[in-house]
Structure 1
Amino acid sequence: MKTRKSMFKTIISMSFLAFLVIVIQSCVVEVPPEDPDPPTFSFRIIGDGFDHTFTQNTNFNSITLMLRVGVTYEFTFFGNDEGGMDHMGWYSVHSGSMVVDPSLHGEWNFSELTGSTSLEWHGSPNDPLSGSIITGTLTTQGNVVTNGTFRFTVEDYGGESGRSNNITEDLPVVFGAHTTRIRDN
C-alpha cells in the first residue's frame, strides 16, 4: 500500500512539473527599458528522506549539503525574471561522486566531463522568456568521503540598456556514508 501511495505521489509530482515546464517555456515577455531587479532561482533536491529548496536568499556561506552515497535524488532547477532570462546554469564539481540524468528539453544543454557536469539554458533576446525549469535525477556513488560544489548562476538581459543583473551562488557539498542533511558551518 505504501509503495502504491508513493508511486501515486511521484506521478502527481512529475505531472505538475511537466505542466510547469510547458507554462514557463511559453511565457514570452517584453524586455523593459530598464531592469534593476535581479533574477531569482530555486534548486530543490528530494531523496533519502530529505526535501529542501535552495534559493538566491539562502546563506550559502554558512551551510554544506551532505549527500549520502548510493542514493538517487530528484532535483528541480528553476529560474525566473519578469524582464526576460538570458542564462541559467547549474555547474557541479564532484570528482566522479555523482551521475546526473537530466530530463532535457528546449534550449537546455548538458555536458559531462570527468568529475564535473554542467546544465545550461540560454534564452534568446529576439524571443525572450521569463525563465525555465528542468528536472532530473542525480545518483551519488563512491566509497570515500569527497568534497564538491554546486554552482548556480542566473542572468537576465538587464533591460534594453543591456546592463544585466546576475546571481552566482556556490553550495559546498560533501558525498559520504552519512545521513542526507544540511550541515551548519
Structure 2
Amino acid sequence: MKNRTKNPSSIFRSAIFSMLLIIAFSFQSCDTEIPPTDTDPPNFSLKITGEGFDHIFNQDDDFSSFELNLTEDALYDFIFSASDPDGLKSAQMQFPGDHFEIETDLPTTWISRFNNGISTSVTWRGDVNNPVTGAILNGKFRVSGDNLAFGLLLDVRDYGGEAGTSNQTFAELNIDVGQQDTEIHYYSE
C-alpha cells in the first residue's frame, strides 16, 4: 500500500478547488442573457476523489495522452460542473450502464436515461427562456469489472448566441478498471 500523505501542493490545489466550487455553485443559479453571437465554447471540470486519489480534469487536458485506472468495486466521489457566461444549454455524462453506476439520487434538474441497453446518459438541459451560466452534479459512483476499459464521455454545449448554433466542448476520459491502484497512467510511461 502506498503512503498517501498530502504535500503542500495538494493542499493548495484542494483549497483552490474549494474556491472554484463555491464560484461554480454561484454560477448554477446565476441568470444571464444570451448574446446575439457567442463563439466561445463552454467549460467543464470533473473532480474525482477516492482510494487515495484526488484530481480535477477539465477541457484543457489532453485526454488522448492518458487513462484513469480505477479500482474494481471501489466507491468514488465526483463533482461534474459545466459553465458558460453566455448561457449553458446542456451538460451530459455518458458511460456503460452495466459497469459504471452512480450511487447518488440525482437532483430533479438532471435526467438519467438508459440508451439501447448500451450506455447510460445523465443530462442537464437549460431553458432558453431562462438561461443560466452553469450546472453542477455531485455524488458517488462505483465501477465494476476486472480488466475492463471504457470511455466516460463528457459533452457540454452552449446556445451559441441568438443564432442558435451551439458551441460544444467534448472529451472522452479513458478508464481502465481492475485490481489496481487508482491513478492516472500516461501512455508514454
Find the counterpart in structure 2 of residue 8 from structure 1: none
Find the counterpart in structure 2 of residue 57 from structure 1: 60
Determine if contact 1:47/1:72 at 8 Å carries over to the other structure.
Answer: yes
Find the counterpart in structure 1 of residue 185 from structure 2: 183
Find the counterpart in structure 2 of residue 89 from structure 1: 92
Determine if contact 2:25/2:136 at 8 Å carries over to the other structure.
Answer: no
TM-aligned CA deviation for residue 119 of structure 1: 0.9
Q: Distance in 2 between matches of 1:132 and 1:33?
A: 22
Q: How many residues align?
A: 169
**Could you state the TM-score of these two structures normalised by the residue count of structure 2?**
0.81
Q: Distance in 2 between matches of 1:24 and 1:62?
A: 31
Q: Secondary structure at the match of 1:24?
A: helix
Determine if contact 2:110/2:123 at 8 Å carries over to the other structure.
Answer: yes
Determine if contact 2:24/2:81 at 8 Å carries over to the other structure.
Answer: no
Determine if contact 1:103/1:134 at 8 Å carries over to the other structure.
Answer: no
Find the counterpart in structure 1 of residue 32 from structure 2: 29
Structure 1: gaps (5+ residues)? 1-15
For residue 73 of structure 2, what is the amino acid of its counterpart?
A: G
Find the counterpart in structure 1 of residue 142 from structure 2: 139
| Aligned-residue RMSD, C-alpha | 2.3
Q: 1:113-132 alignment to 2 at 5 Å?
A: 116-132=119-135
TM-aligned CA deviation for residue 44 of structure 1: 0.6
Deviations 1:107-126 (A, max 9, x none): 21113465632110000100
Determine if contact 2:59/2:169 at 8 Å carries over to the other structure.
Answer: yes
Q: Distance in 2 between matches of 1:57 and 1:77?
A: 15
Greater shift, 104-113 or 24-33, is seen at 104-113
Find the counterpart in structure 1 of residue 111 from structure 2: 109
**Could you state the TM-score of these two structures normalised by the residue count of structure 1?**
0.83
